[in-house]
Amino acid sequence: MLHPRLARLLLVVALLASAAGARADVSLSQSNAPAAILDAELGALFGNEHQAMEAVSPARVKRLQSRPTGGLFARRAPRFSYSREYLGSLPVAKGGKSWRCLSEALYFEARGESVKGQFAVAEVVLNRVDSPKFPDTVCAVINQGTGRRFQCQFTYRCDGRKETITDRVAWEEVGKVARIVLDGKKRDLTGGATYYHARSVRPRWARKFSRTAAIGAHFFYRLPLETAQLR
């Protein structure tokens, strides 16, 4: 009959051999490779014998292998910030009709703005969707008044110019902004604004509205009786 300690060592060797074979078929990160797990567990082998045997049991190894790769060495998600560095750290954004409409609005209305300015314009669109005074979809809000020259809600929809996306870098950037806002980012920049205009103009309607924010090249407003709807 084998000595208990020798039996445990033989079990570890067998598991290591099995793990080595598994690596031929599966690519694993260093933090959850079977050999690395067993090496770490060996340190406890001659301490608490019961825990050591459970630690290197086939069931234990299987559970550890099933964990997501990366462990402590996994790259942490970057912390949100209104910066191009943050947007650059994100994958290219994609989406359906609402995402496309919002991305186009940001491209033609705010691609020259700061990242914060782009988020602010996106907030106005989503605030309008939530308001009973405007259509209830992103695309309907953006296309409201289209076809009536200089009577549309967003200038690019009725300025007579052809809408052509030529700057792919800017397109990817505004696409990420649109994706983040549509995915539910809290709208905390504009105080619930449903209107905005460029600082370079002074529209008559602005005198009757409450200014809520000044961000980048735009002033933002809401009707005096409107309540900010922040998410």
The residue from 73, 92, 107 where one domain ends is 73
Nearest alpha carbon to residue 229 among 126, 97, 121, 133: 126
143 & 190 share domain: yes
The residue from 36, 53, 73 where one domain ends is 73
Q: Where are the alpha helices (DSSP H) in the chain?
A: 4-22, 34-42, 49-55, 58-65, 84-88, 97-110, 115-130, 138-143, 168-182
pLDDT higher than threshold 50 for residue 86: yes
Instruction: Write down the pLDDT at residue 47.
Output: 47
Residue 205 resides in a domain: yes
Residue 200 resides in a domain: yes
* Segments forming the whole domain that contains residue 157: 84-222
59 & 163 share domain: no
Nearest alpha carbon to residue 213 among 142, 124, 130, 129: 124
pTM recorded for the entire structure: 0.64
Query: How far apart are the C-alpha atoms of 34 and 15, rounded to whole Å?
Result: 8
Residue 206 resides in a domain: yes
The residue from 21, 53, 73 where one domain ends is 73
Residue 230 resides in a domain: no
The 10s digit of each residue's pLDDT in 25-35 is 433 334 444 44
pLDDT higher than threshold 80 for residue 68: no
Residue 20 resides in a domain: yes
Query: How far apart are the C-alpha atoms of 171 and 158, rounded to whole Å?
Result: 20
Instruction: Write down the pLDDT at residue 8.
Output: 63
57 & 101 share domain: no
54 & 102 share domain: no
112 & 32 share domain: no
Residue 184 resides in a domain: yes
Which residues contact residue 66 at a Cβ distance below 8 angstroms, ignoring those fewer than 6 apart?
Answer: none
Average pLDDT over residues 6-15: 56
